[in-house]
Amino acid sequence: MASSAGTVCKHHGASSASTLRRLRVCVVVSVAALLLFTAVAATVLAFAAARPRPADAAVTALRLASLSVSPGGSLNATLDAVLAVRNPSPVAAFAHAAGRAEVYYRGALAADADVPPGRVAARGEEALSVRLTVRADRLAGRAAELFGDVAGAGDVALTVRTTMLGTVTVLGVLRHSVVVITACTGRA
């Protein structure tokens, strides 16, 4: 009996080592397949759901801030505008550099101003106040039309155009350069 207690069955030991090796290979292949599937799904979602949507801007308010006539007879006017920059993207932030706002009266550049730089979070909105200086020298040729609009209807048809260069950043990693141009017509 002593001799039988010390013998190890060789076929049983080899079979368990082979089974253990197959089990390890199966687990490694399963984990690798799961990781590959997760990586592909995350990539597809990143490109489909995280695709940057362009920001848009609109003039929400435009009012005459000041109007004066200098002793030399030239007209000086200032317009205050509120520019709303909206970012519709659910995951991308929009950062813009200083831009430009221009006001046109009957096709002629009437006023302009610099738009300050800013940043709009994902699904956020930013209100920018802009003070436009009227270029009276450019409106001199249209003085009769301008006087007629103000005296007749009491309001002036204007077109406001804004241009902002910016960068859309998706999930803090992917960057995409964009230009936001807005043109709207209204009465002041």
Here the tokens at position 161 are 């155009």
- Percentage, residues of the chain above pLDDT 90: 5
Give residue-wise pLDDT tens across range 160-170: 788 888 887 77
Tell me the domain boundaries of the chain.
Answer: 2-49, 56-187
Q: Residue 105, class by beta-carbon neighbours within 10 Å (0-12 exposed, 13-18 middle, 19+ buried)? A: buried
Here the tokens at position 63 are 């009012």
Cβ proximity of 83 and 114 under 8 Å? no
Query: What is the mean pLDDT of the segment spanning 120-145?
Result: 81
What would the CATH number be for the domain defined by 56-187?
A: 2.60.40.10
pTM: 0.58
Of 67-71, 105-109, 128-132, where does mean pLDDT reach its minimum? 67-71
